[in-house]
Structure 1
Amino acid sequence: MAIVKSVRGFTPEIGDNTFLAETAVVIGDVVIGKDCSIWYGAVLRGDVNSIRLGDRVNVQDGAVIHTLYEKSVSILGDDVSVGHNAVIHGAKIENGALIGMGAIVLDHAVVGEGAIVAAGALVLGGTQVEPGSIYAGVPAKFVKKVDPEQSKEINQKIASNYLIYSGWYKAEK
């Protein structure tokens, strides 16, 4: 069973039909929407400030979401995918965005709707990733715009697939 722990008077709120892998950790001031999946080794640590996830968000294996004490919060919109071993630290990720495997998004950055942060990218604090764009590199820079329909199709397909995958695990219980 996942570790779901209260701290500083905050107890995580988990939405309906959300899958928490047995080794997922959710601590403190965390609110997770419905139809989400938090995978193996993922950590949502709302001990020093708030973490909010919309609906149909998937936080893949080994990813970490955290904040800065009294200075930043982490907010993820609907249909967001956070790739394996990614780190989101006090940033805002808007609806339908994709954070690639091993990417790092730092405090006060905003990843716009439908944007893609490439695998291994480092989005520095305060960076504004344009909606519907791809950012890559260290530090992450604009690469190109993505056709809005193509971006929506790719990003929502991944989010939908993770909802299907989580169903496999629920069926095994």
Structure 2
Amino acid sequence: MGVQSGLSGIVIRRVERASRPRLKTRIFPPFTRILETERMALYQLGDVAPTIDNDAYVAPEATVIGRVELKARSSVWPGAVIRGDNEPIVVGEASNVQEGAVLHTDPGCPLNIGDRVTIGHQAMLHGCTVGEGSLIGIQAVVLNRAVIGKDCLVGAGAIVTEGKVFPDRSLILGAPAKAVRELTEDDIAKMRLNAETYAVRQAMYKQQLKRIDG
């Protein structure tokens, strides 16, 4: 059933499980029997639907809309919203978008997240680029056309202003955010371990998460 979005007659449709064939990339991950009654909030906008790899995980309470690509072993956790209505949003392999995070774009500002990236709880990303292996801290904000290099750490609560560019391996803190030092090999190893932990955990959730109605 279509719902008028108010955007030039575009219709938003919730994507149902039975509406897609079994392909290498699907708009839903494979579920075990205990989760067959769960429905993820995946929405087609006009004729554009999310593309989600078989090995990705989207929590039932997350919302994914429109031109969004989730690559293998990526994960989107409860309460996160990824809204690809203006420009494409890509979440790289083994990256995670944690609870309450918001990812959105403005016209002319696509959003690209590299592989093995962590997007912390309640972070907000808008039309930016985040390089491979980086971590965006809790409640951090990264705005249009900003570029976060590879293996960077954006601290909790930092605000990265529009168009700001940071080199690889930067520790980025403050509001407005500034690079305060270069990350060590130990710092980078910890961020990589965090991303891998989420990539492993999402596989467990796909197999073992069970809703309890009481």
So what's the TM-score if we normalise by structure 1? 0.95
1:132 matches 2:169: yes
Alignment of 1:7-156 (within 5 A): 7-69=45-107, 71-147=108-184, 149-156=185-192
Q: CA deviation at 1:152?
A: 2.9
RMSD of aligned alpha carbons: 1.0
The structure 1 segments of at least 4 consecutive aligned residues displaced by more than 6 Å after TM superposition are none
Secondary structure class of the residue paired with 1:6 = strand
Larger Rg computed on CA atoms: 2
Identity %: 36
Q: Secondary structure at the match of 1:159?
A: helix
The answer (yes or no) to whether the contact 1:112–1:131 under 8 Å persists in 2 is yes
Shift of 1:16: 2.3
In structure 2, the residue matched to 1:168 is 204
CA distance in 2, matches of 1:78, 1:15: 14
Match of 1:157 among 166, 170, 193: 193
The one-letter code of the counterpart of 2:181 is: K
- In structure 1, give the amino acid aligned to 2:120: G
- C-alpha offsets along residues 106-146 of structure 1, whole Å, 9 cap, x if unaligned? 00000000000000000001011221010111110111111
Asked if structure 2 preserves the Cα contact closer than 8 Å seen for 1:17 and 1:35, the reply is yes
SS of the residue 1:48 aligns to: strand
Q: What's the counterpart of residue 5 of structure 2?
A: none
**Match of 1:50, as an amino acid?**
P
Q: Which runs of 5+ in 2 are unaligned?
A: 1-38, 210-214
Secondary structure of the residue aligned to 2:191 is helix
Deviation of 1:151 after TM superposition, in Å, equals 3.5
Q: Which amino acid aligns with 2:145?
A: H
Matched position secondary structure for 2:45: coil
Tell me the SS of whatever aligns to 1:102: coil
The whole-number CA distance in structure 1 between the counterparts of 2:50 and 2:192 is: 26
Q: Quick check: 1:115–1:151 contact (8 Å CA) kept in 2?
A: no
How many residue pairs get aligned? The number is 171
SS in 1 for 2:197: helix
Answer whether contact 1:122 1:138 (CA < 8 A) is retained. Answer: yes
Give distance in 2, aligned partners of 1:36 and 1:76: 11
Deviation at 1:32, TM superposition (A): 0.8
Gaps of 5+ in 1: none
